[in-house]
Structure 1
Amino acid sequence: MEKDKYRYIEKVFLQLLREEREAAGVKQSDLATALGHYQGYVSKVETGERRITAVGLLVWCEELGINVDDFMKKVREALEGVSDVGVRKELKNDEGK
């Protein structure tokens, strides 16, 4: 179950990471330029193909004009009350897509 829970937390984290960029009205290519990377880097981070470090997250959030603590609070809030059964259900729904 721990592996499923980890996958679910990662899914929520990445979804919110993308949503925050979109809410800020920033294109992947513009964020990538600000971070000193190519657009593919941002895409790969947002899809989970590439991991982001803690320092990378700090800089990412800074470039979007958001506080990293506020971002992580959103992640925690999105995960509140999700049971192990809920995690399995969400992951099963994703597999069917």
Structure 2
Amino acid sequence: MHKSLHNRPNEIYLSLLRDKRLSRKLRQADLAVRLGRTQGVVSRVESGERRLDIVELWAWLNALDTDVVSFVRQLDRRLRSAAADAGARGLSVPGTKRATNS
């Protein structure tokens, strides 16, 4: 599996995280306060410099008043859409069936 933080699926994931924060009209600093973290941590996560483990993601989404299951469903839709768009152009998205041939 592709481990880089800088790949299309991860960009989609980070975009969704940012979208959730922005839809709540929160600045990075506001989210940081809710998380008990610094704004720098929020920035590093949103820029892809730092990954969230599943427990951190759960806390992050709770701070955004977002259900984990609905977040994952939205992420799945975005990833499938990106894979379909890439497939239509003869490309592949790392981590998808077409890219891994599984």
TM-score grouping bracket, smaller chain normalisation: 0.7 to 0.9
2: distance between equivalents of 1:44 and 1:19?
16
Identity %: 34
Relative to the length of structure 1, the TM-score reads 0.79
Gapped regions of structure 2 (runs ≥ 5): 95-102
The TM-score normalised by the length of structure 2 is 0.75
Give unpaired runs (5+ residues) of structure 1.
89-97
Does residue 85 of the first structure (1) align with residue 91 of the second (2)? yes
The residue type paired with residue 19 of structure 1 is D
Report the equivalent of 2:10: 10
Please identify runs of 4+ aligned residues in structure 1 that moved more than 4 A.
Answer: none
Tell me how large the CA RMSD over aligned residues is: 2.1
Deviations 1:43-66 (A, max 9, x none): 100010011111111011111111
Count of aligned pairs: 86
Cα distance in 2, alignment partners of residues 80 and 87 from structure 1: 9
Q: Distance in 2 between the 1:87 and 1:53 partners?
A: 22
